[in-house]
Amino acid sequence: MICSSGVGFSKMQGAKLCFRFCFVFLAVFFVLINPLSLSYSFGSDVLPVKDKDNIIEIEGSVITVSEFSRAIELLHTSDRVGARLTGGGNSFEMMDFGKYLQELIDRKLKALEAEKLNLDENPDVAAKLYVSRINYLLNKHQEEMVEKRIMIYRKEVVENFLEQREQQARDRRELKLKLGKIKPDEEPLPDFKSEEWIENTLKGLTPSAYTTIAGGFKNIKKAQLEKEFFEKIRKKGKIKVNKKIVKKFAEGDSSVLYEVIAKARRGVKVYSSDVLARIDRSKIANEAEIEKIADDIAMERLVDKDALSMNYDKKDDKLAGIIAREREKIMAQAYRDTVINGMIQVSAKEIEEYYEKNKDLFLLADSIEAKIIKVSKMEEARRVLSELEAGVDFDYLAKSMSLDPSKDKGGYIGWKPIVDFPQLDPVEVVKAGPGVVAGPYQDGYAFVLVQIIAYKEGEPAPLDDSLRKQIDLTIGKTKVEPTELEVMTRLRSAYKIRYNTERLNFYGIKLENL
Protein backbone atom coordinates (compact mmCIF):
# COMPACT_ATOMS: atom_id res chain seq x y z
CA MET A 1 0.00 0.00 0.00
CA ILE A 2 1.41 3.40 -0.94
CA CYS A 3 1.46 6.18 1.64
CA SER A 4 1.57 9.92 0.96
CA SER A 5 4.65 10.70 3.02
CA GLY A 6 7.17 10.56 0.17
CA VAL A 7 9.63 13.33 -0.67
CA GLY A 8 7.57 14.41 -3.66
CA PHE A 9 4.55 15.15 -1.51
CA SER A 10 6.62 17.12 0.99
CA LYS A 11 8.06 19.31 -1.75
CA MET A 12 4.65 19.96 -3.22
CA GLN A 13 3.17 20.85 0.16
CA GLY A 14 6.07 23.17 0.91
CA ALA A 15 5.71 24.92 -2.44
CA LYS A 16 1.96 25.22 -1.96
CA LEU A 17 2.34 26.76 1.52
CA CYS A 18 4.93 29.20 0.19
CA PHE A 19 2.64 30.15 -2.69
CA ARG A 20 -0.30 30.74 -0.31
CA PHE A 21 1.80 32.89 2.03
CA CYS A 22 3.05 35.08 -0.81
CA PHE A 23 -0.40 35.26 -2.34
CA VAL A 24 -2.05 36.38 0.92
CA PHE A 25 0.70 38.94 1.55
CA LEU A 26 0.38 40.50 -1.91
CA ALA A 27 -3.42 40.49 -1.75
CA VAL A 28 -3.49 42.24 1.62
CA PHE A 29 -0.81 44.68 0.46
CA PHE A 30 -2.89 45.52 -2.62
CA VAL A 31 -5.97 46.29 -0.48
CA LEU A 32 -4.04 48.45 1.95
CA ILE A 33 -2.27 50.58 -0.70
CA ASN A 34 -5.19 50.83 -3.13
CA PRO A 35 -5.82 54.57 -3.22
CA LEU A 36 -9.48 54.06 -4.04
CA SER A 37 -10.02 51.89 -1.01
CA LEU A 38 -8.64 54.50 1.37
CA SER A 39 -11.54 56.88 0.85
CA TYR A 40 -14.19 56.66 3.57
CA SER A 41 -16.57 59.38 2.36
CA PHE A 42 -19.76 58.52 0.50
CA GLY A 43 -20.92 60.79 -2.28
CA SER A 44 -23.86 62.98 -1.33
CA ASP A 45 -25.61 62.37 -4.68
CA VAL A 46 -27.42 59.11 -5.27
CA LEU A 47 -26.52 57.62 -8.65
CA PRO A 48 -29.60 56.23 -10.44
CA VAL A 49 -29.50 52.91 -12.27
CA LYS A 50 -29.05 53.03 -16.02
CA ASP A 51 -31.51 50.18 -16.53
CA LYS A 52 -34.75 50.13 -14.53
CA ASP A 53 -34.74 46.33 -14.66
CA ASN A 54 -31.84 46.46 -12.19
CA ILE A 55 -32.17 47.23 -8.51
CA ILE A 56 -28.39 47.70 -8.09
CA GLU A 57 -25.58 48.38 -10.57
CA ILE A 58 -21.90 48.19 -9.61
CA GLU A 59 -19.47 48.86 -12.46
CA GLY A 60 -20.90 46.34 -14.90
CA SER A 61 -22.12 43.92 -12.25
CA VAL A 62 -25.83 44.10 -11.52
CA ILE A 63 -28.58 42.75 -9.28
CA THR A 64 -31.72 42.64 -11.38
CA VAL A 65 -35.14 43.31 -9.95
CA SER A 66 -36.28 39.82 -10.91
CA GLU A 67 -33.20 38.23 -9.29
CA PHE A 68 -33.77 40.08 -6.04
CA SER A 69 -37.48 39.28 -6.09
CA ARG A 70 -36.80 35.60 -6.69
CA ALA A 71 -34.12 35.55 -3.97
CA ILE A 72 -36.61 36.99 -1.47
CA GLU A 73 -39.21 34.40 -2.44
CA LEU A 74 -36.69 31.65 -1.70
CA LEU A 75 -35.71 33.09 1.68
CA HIS A 76 -38.61 31.47 3.52
CA THR A 77 -37.38 28.03 2.45
CA SER A 78 -33.90 28.66 3.86
CA ASP A 79 -32.49 29.12 7.35
CA ARG A 80 -31.92 32.83 6.71
CA VAL A 81 -35.25 33.88 8.29
CA GLY A 82 -34.05 34.51 11.81
CA ALA A 83 -32.22 36.84 14.13
CA ARG A 84 -29.54 37.77 11.64
CA LEU A 85 -31.93 39.23 9.08
CA THR A 86 -34.90 40.20 11.22
CA GLY A 87 -34.66 41.89 14.54
CA GLY A 88 -34.70 38.73 16.54
CA GLY A 89 -37.94 37.06 15.50
CA ASN A 90 -38.61 34.26 13.02
CA SER A 91 -41.55 35.77 11.17
CA PHE A 92 -41.17 36.20 7.41
CA GLU A 93 -43.13 39.47 7.73
CA MET A 94 -40.37 40.84 9.97
CA MET A 95 -37.72 40.34 7.29
CA ASP A 96 -35.40 43.31 6.82
CA PHE A 97 -34.84 43.18 3.05
CA GLY A 98 -32.29 45.97 3.37
CA LYS A 99 -29.94 43.72 5.33
CA TYR A 100 -30.27 41.01 2.71
CA LEU A 101 -29.66 43.44 -0.16
CA GLN A 102 -26.65 44.76 1.73
CA GLU A 103 -25.25 41.24 1.88
CA LEU A 104 -25.76 40.82 -1.86
CA ILE A 105 -24.00 44.14 -2.55
CA ASP A 106 -21.10 43.15 -0.29
CA ARG A 107 -20.82 39.81 -2.06
CA LYS A 108 -20.60 41.52 -5.44
CA LEU A 109 -17.95 43.94 -4.17
CA LYS A 110 -15.86 41.08 -2.78
CA ALA A 111 -16.22 39.15 -6.02
CA LEU A 112 -15.19 42.18 -8.11
CA GLU A 113 -12.09 42.68 -5.97
CA ALA A 114 -11.31 38.95 -6.14
CA GLU A 115 -11.43 39.14 -9.95
CA LYS A 116 -9.05 42.13 -9.93
CA LEU A 117 -6.67 40.19 -7.68
CA ASN A 118 -6.91 37.13 -9.96
CA LEU A 119 -7.86 34.94 -7.04
CA ASP A 120 -9.21 32.44 -9.56
CA GLU A 121 -5.56 31.54 -10.24
CA ASN A 122 -5.27 30.18 -6.71
CA PRO A 123 -5.30 26.35 -7.12
CA ASP A 124 -7.95 25.79 -4.44
CA VAL A 125 -10.24 28.49 -5.82
CA ALA A 126 -9.71 27.31 -9.40
CA ALA A 127 -10.68 23.78 -8.36
CA LYS A 128 -13.90 25.01 -6.70
CA LEU A 129 -14.81 27.08 -9.76
CA TYR A 130 -14.20 24.14 -12.07
CA VAL A 131 -16.24 21.71 -9.96
CA SER A 132 -19.11 24.21 -9.69
CA ARG A 133 -19.22 24.86 -13.44
CA ILE A 134 -18.73 21.27 -14.56
CA ASN A 135 -21.51 20.03 -12.28
CA TYR A 136 -24.02 22.36 -13.92
CA LEU A 137 -22.72 21.46 -17.38
CA LEU A 138 -22.96 17.74 -16.62
CA ASN A 139 -26.55 18.13 -15.46
CA LYS A 140 -27.34 19.99 -18.69
CA HIS A 141 -25.47 17.35 -20.71
CA GLN A 142 -27.52 14.58 -19.12
CA GLU A 143 -30.68 16.54 -19.81
CA GLU A 144 -29.78 16.99 -23.49
CA MET A 145 -28.25 13.57 -24.15
CA VAL A 146 -30.65 11.48 -22.07
CA GLU A 147 -33.66 13.22 -20.48
CA LYS A 148 -34.91 15.00 -23.61
CA ARG A 149 -34.57 11.83 -25.69
CA ILE A 150 -36.85 9.77 -23.49
CA MET A 151 -40.18 9.30 -25.28
CA ILE A 152 -43.11 7.63 -23.54
CA TYR A 153 -46.02 6.67 -25.81
CA ARG A 154 -49.59 6.13 -24.66
CA LYS A 155 -49.79 2.93 -26.71
CA GLU A 156 -47.01 1.24 -24.74
CA VAL A 157 -48.50 2.33 -21.40
CA VAL A 158 -51.91 0.94 -22.36
CA GLU A 159 -50.42 -2.34 -23.64
CA ASN A 160 -48.41 -2.75 -20.45
CA PHE A 161 -51.51 -2.11 -18.31
CA LEU A 162 -53.51 -4.71 -20.25
CA GLU A 163 -50.67 -7.22 -19.96
CA GLN A 164 -50.56 -6.72 -16.21
CA ARG A 165 -54.32 -7.22 -15.86
CA GLU A 166 -54.22 -10.31 -18.08
CA GLN A 167 -51.40 -11.82 -15.99
CA GLN A 168 -53.27 -11.01 -12.78
CA ALA A 169 -56.37 -12.82 -14.10
CA ARG A 170 -54.31 -15.87 -15.06
CA ASP A 171 -52.53 -15.89 -11.68
CA ARG A 172 -55.83 -15.69 -9.76
CA ARG A 173 -57.33 -18.62 -11.69
CA GLU A 174 -54.14 -20.67 -11.25
CA LEU A 175 -54.24 -20.07 -7.49
CA LYS A 176 -57.90 -21.12 -7.26
CA LEU A 177 -57.09 -24.35 -9.13
CA LYS A 178 -54.20 -25.12 -6.74
CA LEU A 179 -56.41 -24.51 -3.73
CA GLY A 180 -59.17 -26.67 -5.20
CA LYS A 181 -61.71 -23.87 -5.17
CA ILE A 182 -62.60 -24.44 -8.83
CA LYS A 183 -62.42 -27.30 -11.31
CA PRO A 184 -60.46 -27.05 -14.61
CA ASP A 185 -63.67 -26.54 -16.61
CA GLU A 186 -65.01 -23.82 -14.31
CA GLU A 187 -64.54 -20.02 -14.56
CA PRO A 188 -62.81 -20.00 -17.94
CA LEU A 189 -60.56 -17.07 -18.72
CA PRO A 190 -62.08 -14.24 -20.77
CA ASP A 191 -61.04 -13.45 -24.33
CA PHE A 192 -58.22 -10.98 -23.63
CA LYS A 193 -58.30 -9.81 -27.25
CA SER A 194 -61.98 -8.93 -27.22
CA GLU A 195 -62.96 -5.27 -27.45
CA GLU A 196 -65.36 -5.72 -24.52
CA TRP A 197 -62.64 -6.99 -22.15
CA ILE A 198 -60.20 -4.31 -23.27
CA GLU A 199 -62.79 -1.54 -22.90
CA ASN A 200 -63.86 -2.67 -19.42
CA THR A 201 -60.28 -3.22 -18.26
CA LEU A 202 -59.10 0.22 -19.42
CA LYS A 203 -61.65 1.81 -17.12
CA GLY A 204 -59.24 0.89 -14.34
CA LEU A 205 -56.37 2.84 -15.95
CA THR A 206 -56.55 5.79 -13.59
CA PRO A 207 -54.24 8.82 -13.92
CA SER A 208 -52.26 7.49 -10.97
CA ALA A 209 -51.83 4.07 -12.58
CA TYR A 210 -50.87 5.70 -15.87
CA THR A 211 -48.22 7.84 -14.15
CA THR A 212 -46.79 4.81 -12.34
CA ILE A 213 -46.45 2.77 -15.53
CA ALA A 214 -45.05 5.73 -17.47
CA GLY A 215 -42.52 6.29 -14.69
CA GLY A 216 -41.40 2.69 -14.95
CA PHE A 217 -40.91 3.04 -18.71
CA LYS A 218 -38.98 6.28 -18.15
CA ASN A 219 -36.55 4.62 -15.74
CA ILE A 220 -35.97 1.72 -18.13
CA LYS A 221 -35.41 3.98 -21.13
CA LYS A 222 -33.23 6.36 -19.12
CA ALA A 223 -30.97 3.49 -18.03
CA GLN A 224 -30.71 2.26 -21.61
CA LEU A 225 -29.92 5.72 -23.01
CA GLU A 226 -27.31 6.31 -20.31
CA LYS A 227 -25.70 2.99 -21.11
CA GLU A 228 -25.59 3.84 -24.82
CA PHE A 229 -24.22 7.31 -24.06
CA PHE A 230 -21.38 6.03 -21.87
CA GLU A 231 -20.55 3.25 -24.34
CA LYS A 232 -20.26 5.88 -27.07
CA ILE A 233 -17.98 8.05 -24.91
CA ARG A 234 -15.84 5.03 -24.01
CA LYS A 235 -15.56 3.90 -27.63
CA LYS A 236 -14.49 7.36 -28.81
CA GLY A 237 -12.20 7.91 -25.81
CA LYS A 238 -10.13 4.73 -26.16
CA ILE A 239 -9.03 4.48 -22.51
CA LYS A 240 -5.72 2.69 -21.95
CA VAL A 241 -4.55 1.66 -18.48
CA ASN A 242 -0.82 1.05 -18.00
CA LYS A 243 -0.71 -2.38 -16.39
CA LYS A 244 3.00 -2.06 -15.53
CA ILE A 245 2.30 1.05 -13.47
CA VAL A 246 -0.72 -0.68 -11.91
CA LYS A 247 1.50 -3.60 -10.83
CA LYS A 248 4.11 -1.31 -9.25
CA PHE A 249 1.38 0.73 -7.58
CA ALA A 250 -0.15 -2.41 -6.05
CA GLU A 251 3.30 -3.43 -4.77
CA GLY A 252 3.61 -0.12 -2.91
CA ASP A 253 6.22 1.50 -5.17
CA SER A 254 5.88 5.23 -4.35
CA SER A 255 8.09 6.20 -7.31
CA VAL A 256 5.06 5.80 -9.62
CA LEU A 257 2.87 8.36 -7.81
CA TYR A 258 3.46 10.96 -10.51
CA GLU A 259 3.42 8.51 -13.40
CA VAL A 260 0.48 8.35 -15.82
CA ILE A 261 -1.47 5.24 -14.90
CA ALA A 262 -4.21 5.71 -17.52
CA LYS A 263 -4.80 7.95 -20.53
CA ALA A 264 -7.41 8.53 -23.21
CA ARG A 265 -8.14 10.76 -26.16
CA ARG A 266 -8.82 14.49 -25.73
CA GLY A 267 -5.66 14.76 -23.65
CA VAL A 268 -7.06 12.87 -20.67
CA LYS A 269 -4.36 11.72 -18.25
CA VAL A 270 -4.80 9.97 -14.89
CA TYR A 271 -1.88 9.91 -12.48
CA SER A 272 -1.26 7.32 -9.80
CA SER A 273 -1.73 10.07 -7.20
CA ASP A 274 -5.28 10.55 -8.54
CA VAL A 275 -5.96 6.88 -7.93
CA LEU A 276 -4.39 7.03 -4.47
CA ALA A 277 -6.90 9.73 -3.47
CA ARG A 278 -9.78 7.37 -4.30
CA ILE A 279 -8.48 4.27 -2.53
CA ASP A 280 -9.88 3.21 0.84
CA ARG A 281 -6.76 3.51 3.03
CA SER A 282 -8.12 0.93 5.46
CA LYS A 283 -7.86 -1.77 2.79
CA ILE A 284 -5.10 -3.08 0.57
CA ALA A 285 -6.16 -2.59 -3.06
CA ASN A 286 -5.30 -5.31 -5.55
CA GLU A 287 -4.35 -4.76 -9.20
CA ALA A 288 -7.91 -5.27 -10.47
CA GLU A 289 -9.31 -2.65 -8.08
CA ILE A 290 -6.54 -0.16 -8.93
CA GLU A 291 -7.12 -0.67 -12.64
CA LYS A 292 -10.87 -0.13 -12.25
CA ILE A 293 -10.38 3.09 -10.29
CA ALA A 294 -7.98 4.42 -12.92
CA ASP A 295 -10.44 3.50 -15.67
CA ASP A 296 -13.33 5.15 -13.80
CA ILE A 297 -11.41 8.40 -13.35
CA ALA A 298 -10.46 8.46 -17.04
CA MET A 299 -14.10 7.86 -17.98
CA GLU A 300 -15.28 10.68 -15.71
CA ARG A 301 -12.82 13.07 -17.33
CA LEU A 302 -13.91 12.04 -20.81
CA VAL A 303 -17.52 12.82 -19.87
CA ASP A 304 -16.38 16.16 -18.44
CA LYS A 305 -14.58 16.96 -21.69
CA ASP A 306 -17.65 16.00 -23.70
CA ALA A 307 -19.88 18.28 -21.61
CA LEU A 308 -17.39 21.16 -21.83
CA SER A 309 -17.17 20.81 -25.62
CA MET A 310 -20.90 21.49 -25.96
CA ASN A 311 -20.53 25.07 -24.60
CA TYR A 312 -23.94 24.96 -22.98
CA ASP A 313 -23.26 28.05 -20.88
CA LYS A 314 -22.57 30.03 -24.06
CA LYS A 315 -25.82 28.93 -25.70
CA ASP A 316 -28.14 29.01 -22.69
CA ASP A 317 -28.41 32.43 -20.99
CA LYS A 318 -30.26 31.00 -18.00
CA LEU A 319 -27.56 28.41 -17.37
CA ALA A 320 -24.86 31.03 -17.91
CA GLY A 321 -26.51 33.21 -15.27
CA ILE A 322 -26.63 30.37 -12.76
CA ILE A 323 -22.96 29.52 -13.30
CA ALA A 324 -22.00 33.22 -13.07
CA ARG A 325 -23.82 33.57 -9.74
CA GLU A 326 -22.08 30.50 -8.36
CA ARG A 327 -18.75 31.89 -9.53
CA GLU A 328 -19.55 35.15 -7.76
CA LYS A 329 -20.23 33.30 -4.49
CA ILE A 330 -16.98 31.34 -4.72
CA MET A 331 -14.90 34.42 -5.61
CA ALA A 332 -16.48 36.45 -2.80
CA GLN A 333 -15.66 33.70 -0.31
CA ALA A 334 -12.13 33.49 -1.70
CA TYR A 335 -11.70 37.23 -1.10
CA ARG A 336 -12.96 36.84 2.45
CA ASP A 337 -10.70 33.86 3.15
CA THR A 338 -7.60 35.27 1.48
CA VAL A 339 -7.71 39.03 1.98
CA ILE A 340 -9.98 39.76 4.93
CA ASN A 341 -8.88 36.79 7.04
CA GLY A 342 -5.30 37.45 5.93
CA MET A 343 -5.46 40.89 7.56
CA ILE A 344 -6.33 39.43 10.95
CA GLN A 345 -3.36 39.16 13.28
CA VAL A 346 -3.33 37.79 16.83
CA SER A 347 -0.25 38.63 18.94
CA ALA A 348 1.45 36.35 21.43
CA LYS A 349 0.54 38.86 24.14
CA GLU A 350 -3.17 38.62 23.25
CA ILE A 351 -3.00 34.83 23.43
CA GLU A 352 -1.29 34.86 26.82
CA GLU A 353 -3.73 37.43 28.25
CA TYR A 354 -6.71 35.42 26.99
CA TYR A 355 -5.25 32.28 28.57
CA GLU A 356 -4.71 33.98 31.94
CA LYS A 357 -8.25 35.41 32.00
CA ASN A 358 -9.92 32.18 30.89
CA LYS A 359 -7.98 29.37 32.53
CA ASP A 360 -11.24 27.79 33.65
CA LEU A 361 -12.00 27.09 29.99
CA PHE A 362 -8.89 24.94 29.68
CA LEU A 363 -9.13 22.76 32.77
CA LEU A 364 -7.94 19.21 32.32
CA ALA A 365 -10.23 16.47 33.64
CA ASP A 366 -9.94 15.36 37.26
CA SER A 367 -7.73 12.30 37.47
CA ILE A 368 -7.03 9.34 39.70
CA GLU A 369 -3.93 7.27 40.39
CA ALA A 370 -5.13 3.70 40.41
CA LYS A 371 -4.63 -0.05 40.20
CA ILE A 372 -7.03 -2.43 38.45
CA ILE A 373 -7.90 -6.09 38.28
CA LYS A 374 -9.80 -7.47 35.28
CA VAL A 375 -11.43 -10.89 35.21
CA SER A 376 -13.76 -12.61 32.77
CA LYS A 377 -16.77 -13.35 35.03
CA MET A 378 -18.77 -11.37 37.60
CA GLU A 379 -18.66 -14.30 40.07
CA GLU A 380 -14.87 -14.32 39.86
CA ALA A 381 -14.74 -10.53 40.41
CA ARG A 382 -16.89 -10.89 43.53
CA ARG A 383 -14.57 -13.60 44.90
CA VAL A 384 -11.58 -11.29 44.34
CA LEU A 385 -13.42 -8.51 46.18
CA SER A 386 -14.12 -10.84 49.08
CA GLU A 387 -10.43 -11.73 49.32
CA LEU A 388 -9.47 -8.05 49.23
CA GLU A 389 -11.95 -7.32 52.02
CA ALA A 390 -10.38 -10.20 53.96
CA GLY A 391 -6.98 -8.46 53.74
CA VAL A 392 -5.31 -10.18 50.78
CA ASP A 393 -2.80 -7.89 49.02
CA PHE A 394 -4.17 -6.16 45.88
CA ASP A 395 -0.83 -6.48 44.03
CA TYR A 396 -0.72 -10.22 44.69
CA LEU A 397 -4.27 -10.79 43.37
CA ALA A 398 -3.62 -8.59 40.32
CA LYS A 399 -0.49 -10.55 39.39
CA SER A 400 -2.18 -13.90 39.88
CA MET A 401 -5.67 -13.28 38.50
CA SER A 402 -5.91 -10.13 36.36
CA LEU A 403 -6.30 -10.34 32.58
CA ASP A 404 -5.04 -6.77 32.07
CA PRO A 405 -1.44 -6.12 30.87
CA SER A 406 -0.92 -4.07 34.05
CA LYS A 407 -0.88 -7.33 36.06
CA ASP A 408 2.94 -7.41 35.89
CA LYS A 409 2.96 -4.12 37.84
CA GLY A 410 0.47 -5.31 40.41
CA GLY A 411 -2.35 -3.73 38.41
CA TYR A 412 -0.80 -0.23 38.55
CA ILE A 413 -1.99 1.97 35.64
CA GLY A 414 -0.71 5.35 36.87
CA TRP A 415 -2.69 8.58 36.60
CA LYS A 416 -5.77 8.44 34.39
CA PRO A 417 -8.62 10.95 33.73
CA ILE A 418 -11.59 9.96 35.85
CA VAL A 419 -13.76 10.24 32.74
CA ASP A 420 -12.05 7.04 31.61
CA PHE A 421 -14.01 5.36 34.43
CA PRO A 422 -17.63 6.36 33.76
CA GLN A 423 -18.82 3.97 36.46
CA LEU A 424 -17.00 5.96 39.15
CA ASP A 425 -18.67 8.92 40.84
CA PRO A 426 -16.00 11.62 41.50
CA VAL A 427 -17.85 12.86 44.58
CA GLU A 428 -17.97 9.35 46.08
CA VAL A 429 -14.31 8.78 45.20
CA VAL A 430 -13.29 11.94 47.07
CA LYS A 431 -15.43 10.99 50.08
CA ALA A 432 -14.03 7.45 50.23
CA GLY A 433 -10.41 8.61 50.27
CA PRO A 434 -7.23 6.72 49.26
CA GLY A 435 -7.17 2.93 49.31
CA VAL A 436 -10.85 2.35 48.54
CA VAL A 437 -11.72 -0.40 46.06
CA ALA A 438 -14.54 0.37 43.62
CA GLY A 439 -16.48 -2.24 41.70
CA PRO A 440 -16.84 -4.76 40.41
CA TYR A 441 -18.41 -3.33 37.24
CA GLN A 442 -18.59 -4.52 33.65
CA ASP A 443 -16.31 -2.96 31.04
CA GLY A 444 -16.90 -4.60 27.69
CA TYR A 445 -16.25 -8.31 28.11
CA ALA A 446 -14.37 -7.93 31.40
CA PHE A 447 -15.33 -7.24 35.02
CA VAL A 448 -13.19 -4.68 36.79
CA LEU A 449 -12.11 -3.75 40.30
CA VAL A 450 -10.37 -0.40 40.81
CA GLN A 451 -8.24 0.58 43.78
CA ILE A 452 -8.00 4.37 44.17
CA ILE A 453 -4.52 5.43 45.30
CA ALA A 454 -4.97 9.19 44.97
CA TYR A 455 -7.35 11.78 43.49
CA LYS A 456 -6.35 15.04 41.79
CA GLU A 457 -8.57 17.87 40.63
CA GLY A 458 -8.13 19.08 37.07
CA GLU A 459 -5.58 21.83 36.47
CA PRO A 460 -5.39 24.30 33.58
CA ALA A 461 -3.78 22.76 30.53
CA PRO A 462 -0.29 24.11 29.80
CA LEU A 463 -0.10 26.84 27.17
CA ASP A 464 1.58 24.68 24.55
CA ASP A 465 1.60 25.13 20.76
CA SER A 466 -1.65 23.25 20.33
CA LEU A 467 -3.50 25.41 22.85
CA ARG A 468 -1.94 28.57 21.41
CA LYS A 469 -3.39 27.68 18.00
CA GLN A 470 -6.79 27.06 19.56
CA ILE A 471 -6.77 30.45 21.32
CA ASP A 472 -5.44 32.16 18.20
CA LEU A 473 -8.44 30.84 16.26
CA THR A 474 -10.86 31.89 19.01
CA ILE A 475 -9.54 35.46 19.15
CA GLY A 476 -9.28 35.62 15.37
CA LYS A 477 -12.98 34.85 15.00
CA THR A 478 -13.86 37.88 17.12
CA LYS A 479 -11.85 40.08 14.77
CA VAL A 480 -13.44 38.86 11.54
CA GLU A 481 -16.59 40.99 11.71
CA PRO A 482 -14.91 44.35 12.50
CA THR A 483 -12.15 43.68 9.97
CA GLU A 484 -14.71 42.79 7.31
CA LEU A 485 -16.75 45.91 8.13
CA GLU A 486 -13.64 48.07 7.73
CA VAL A 487 -12.76 46.50 4.38
CA MET A 488 -16.32 46.70 3.05
CA THR A 489 -16.53 50.39 4.03
CA ARG A 490 -13.46 51.00 1.91
CA LEU A 491 -14.84 49.01 -1.01
CA ARG A 492 -18.18 50.83 -0.91
CA SER A 493 -16.25 54.11 -1.16
CA ALA A 494 -14.11 52.80 -4.00
CA TYR A 495 -16.94 51.65 -6.29
CA LYS A 496 -19.74 53.64 -7.89
CA ILE A 497 -22.96 51.98 -6.80
CA ARG A 498 -26.18 52.90 -8.58
CA TYR A 499 -29.56 52.41 -6.91
CA ASN A 500 -33.09 51.91 -8.20
CA THR A 501 -34.78 54.10 -5.55
CA GLU A 502 -38.26 53.26 -6.82
CA ARG A 503 -37.70 49.56 -6.19
CA LEU A 504 -35.96 50.20 -2.89
CA ASN A 505 -39.04 52.07 -1.71
CA PHE A 506 -41.25 49.21 -2.91
CA TYR A 507 -39.39 46.80 -0.61
CA GLY A 508 -39.28 49.31 2.23
CA ILE A 509 -35.50 49.61 2.01
CA LYS A 510 -34.02 52.89 3.19
CA LEU A 511 -31.02 54.01 1.17
CA GLU A 512 -29.20 55.34 4.23
CA ASN A 513 -29.26 51.82 5.72
CA LEU A 514 -27.41 50.27 2.79
Quickly state the pLDDT bin for 32 (edges 50, 70, 90): very low
Which residues, including other chains, have CB under 8 Å from residue 260's CB and lie 6 or more apart? 242, 245, 269, 270, 271
Quickly state the pLDDT bin for 209 (edges 50, 70, 90): very high
Cβ-in-10-Å burial (0-12, 13-18, 19+) of 315 comes to exposed
CA nearest 341: which of 466, 487, 467? Answer: 487
- Identify the pLDDT of residue 77: 62
d(CA 70, CA 57): 17
Mean pLDDT throughout 383-401?
90
CB atoms within 10 A of CB 189: 11
Mean pLDDT throughout 495-505?
92
pLDDT at 397 over 80: yes
What is the per-residue pLDDT across 176-187, written as a single tens digit (0 to 9) for each? 999 999 999 999
Percentage of residues in the chain having pLDDT higher than 70: 87
Set out the domains of the chain in order of their start, with CATH numbers: 11-145+314-337 (no CATH), 234-313 (no CATH), 364-456 (3.10.50.40)
- Identify the pLDDT of residue 429: 74
d(CA 101, CA 68): 8
Roughly what angle, to the nearest 10 degrees, separates helices 195-202 and 154-179?
Answer: 100
Could you tell me if 262 and 241 are in contact, meaning their C-beta atoms sit under 8 angstroms apart?
A: yes
d(CA 257, CA 275): 9
What is the per-residue pLDDT across 137-158, written as a single tens digit (0 to 9) for each? 999 999 999 999 999 999 999 9
- Identify the pLDDT of residue 414: 92
d(CA 141, CA 380): 69
pLDDT at 507 over 70: yes
pLDDT at 136 over 50: yes
Cβ-in-10-Å burial (0-12, 13-18, 19+) of 426 comes to middle
pLDDT at 85 over 70: no
**Listed ranges 89-93, 250-254, 269-273, 445-449; the one with the highest mean pLDDT:** 269-273
More confidently predicted of 427 and 314: 314
- Identify the pLDDT of residue 512: 80
- Identify the pLDDT of residue 94: 55
- How far is C-alpha 353 from the chain's CA centre? 36
What is the per-residue pLDDT across 276-330, written as a single tens digit (0 to 9) for each? 999 887 677 899 999 999 999 999 999 999 999 999 999 999 999 999 999 999 9
- Identify the pLDDT of residue 2: 32
d(CA 394, CA 439): 14
More confidently predicted of 500 and 89: 500
pTM value surpassing 0.75: no
- Identify the pLDDT of residue 363: 87
Quickly state the pLDDT bin for 76 (edges 50, 70, 90): low
pLDDT at 163 over 80: yes
pLDDT at 3 over 70: no
